[in-house]
A and B are shown apart, each in its own frame.
Chain A
Amino acid sequence: MRIPHPILGLRDQSEFVYLGDACLLERPDGMQADALQKMTEYAYQRDNCRGLHRELWFHEQGDRAWLVVTRNTVTHEIVKVEFANEVASHD
């Protein structure tokens, strides 16, 4: 599997480290009344989709950017790659 990096082009999967579902970018507010429940869901619950999955990859052996990769978990096809900091600043 190769990941099309927005700047560096196609890079081998082995240059990257995988973290998990991109929902990790949306960390709940720890000061809210329902923070315990929200934080538990954030830390432990996952949709774990079969099909398109938005996920975080770190280009450790490259430019050390965090990427949000939209990838099909059945075919390994990658349909979209974005910089995680850009995704986070849009939200």
Chain B
Amino acid sequence: MDFSGWRVLREGLRGHTGWAPLWRAATPKKHYDVLIVGGGGHGLATAYYLAKYHGLTNIAVLEKNWVGGGNVGRNTTIIRSNYLLDGNQPFYELSLRLWEGIEQELNFNAMVSQRGVLNLFHSDAQRDAFRRRGNAMRMHGTDAEWLNAKAVRQMAPFLNYDNARFPIHGGLLQRRGGTVRHDAVAWGYARAASALGVDIIERCEVQGFDVTNGQVQAVETSRGRIEADRIGVAVAGYSSEVMRHANVRLPIESHVLQAFVTEGLKPLIPGVITYGAGHFYISQSDKGGLVFGGDLDGYNSYASRGNLPVVEDVCEGGMSIMPMLGRARLLRSWGGVVDMSMDGSPIIDRTQVGGLYFNGGWCYGGFKATPASGWVFAHLLARESSHPTASAYRFDRFAAGAMIDEKGQGSTPNLH
């Protein structure tokens, strides 16, 4: 079933009776060539790219709950590629390029909106750091633009320019950054993968791996045993719990990250704005809600909800940079469990178990990586070698001392 303007018109005239479910409800087969554990954005994207570009069709995606119910439905929908380090920037740029073509690729409206991501800076040192990052981005072929305080004021006159402690000196702007309708990403990949023959099996929880002679043979699930030649795990948030079944210990802690949305307001914020002096970022959804967030709660957590001190901290950051936020009523806040890795960067690699591959450690930035994560994980699963843009995301970088630590925090997951 293709989507098009004509189709919408036709269905409008026929009382919308011709629409069908977006993907097949599959029942598990006995054996698959490739099994993806985790029906979030990354797992579904992996399955789609495997089926579309690597000639594999006997693929299943196992999801313990329902498609779109995990972090792909809990994030703040921001896409950007404004990283500093060589190991990261080409990967996130690949992701942004895939975002730019995703709607045509999937024939699905993911509402990709390149409304710009603006990082504010408030001191001389921060200006230097942001200039360096902007230059690094441009050297990798990414757009980065320098705004002085006047240009920032023109773009966002509602910010707090009179703050004596944290004056706004300017900003680093990536115009190609923006937001995407997060649920539609999961649905779009699920639909497109299903159309290529991928079985999407919901409410099917992996409870164990059958490993014989160092080679993975099958998974034990809540819907029985399923054999597979190769298994890719993409369950960020719960990576340690799933990989524990295969005796793989990870350089990851699970943490909870909270997000917030206000009541719907008229168009107000032009793009995504981040506050450089407190950890706070904000954008406006197409429905009009102001979507914002800040720091992790900071302690290991598998609870998909946070605590009040961080709510207070995030709201203080918001009031500091955008005082009129205090007039908006908060509609909802929620938490999501994320994989915090030891250097703040992801891992996409084979494991010591033959046939078992791992994709995780996305910290709080997995959503923007969805297309590239799927792209390179499909490459790894199909060809058994790392994709060039993800060649730094290996397990052995910790032992080798080749960390990709954007913030320079060291092995303290809660501070990245």
Q: Mark A27-67, 1 if CB is under 8 A from B, else 0.
A: 00000000010001101111111100101010000000000
Known contacts being A46-B240, A50-B241, A53-B300, is A13 close to B309, with CB within 8 Å?
yes
Question: Which of B240, B241, B251, B299 sits near A55, CB closer than 8 Å?
Answer: B299
Q: Is A89 an interface residue (CB 8 A)?
A: no
- Which of B29-37, B102-110, B199-207, B408-416 forms part of the interface with chain A? B408-416
CB <8 Å contact, A40 and B250? no
Question: Which of A1, A12, A44, A73 sits near B251, CB closer than 8 Å?
Answer: A44
Interface residues of A, dominant DSSP: mixed
Q: Is B249 an interface residue (CB 8 A)?
A: yes
CB <8 Å contact, A20 and B253? yes
**Interface centre among A1, A20, A44, by most B CB within 10 Å?**
A44
Which B residues are in CB contact (< 8 Å) with A44?
Answer: 251, 342, 398-399, 411
CB <8 Å contact, B240 and A48? yes
A7 to B252, CA, bound (A): 33
A53 to B300, CA, bound (A): 8
Question: Which of A14, A71, A76 sits near B309, CB closer than 8 Å?
Answer: A14
Known contacts being A14-B309, A44-B398, is A76 close to B303, with CB within 8 Å?
yes
Question: Which of B252, B254, B309 sits near A12, CB closer than 8 Å?
Answer: B309
CB <8 Å contact, B307 and A1? yes
Which A residues are in CB contact (< 8 Å) with B414?
Answer: 18, 20
Which size bracket describes the interface of B in this complex? 20 to 34
Residue of B nearest to A39 (CB): B399
| CB within 8 Å of B: which A15-32 residues | 18-21
Question: Which of B244, B249, B254, B342 sits near A73, CB closer than 8 Å?
Answer: B254
CB <8 Å contact, A48 and B252? yes
Residue of A nearest to B296 (CB): A18
Q: How far is the CB of A63 from chain B (nearest CB, A)?
A: 19
Residue of A nearest to B239 (CB): A48
| CB within 8 Å of A: which B123-160 residues | none
Which A residues are in CB contact (< 8 Å) with B399?
Answer: 36, 40, 44
A82 to B287, CA, bound (A): 49
CB <8 Å contact, B251 and A75? no
| CB within 8 Å of A: which B305-358 residues | 307, 309, 342
Could you name 13 residue pairs across A and B whose Cβ atoms are closer than 8 Å?
A: A13-B309, A20-B253, A21-B253, A44-B251, A44-B398, A47-B244, A48-B240, A48-B241, A48-B250, A48-B254, A55-B299, A73-B301, A73-B303
Supply 10 further A-B pairs (C-beta < 8 A) apart from A46-B249, A74-B302.
A12-B309, A14-B309, A18-B298, A20-B253, A40-B399, A44-B342, A50-B241, A71-B299, A74-B303, A76-B301
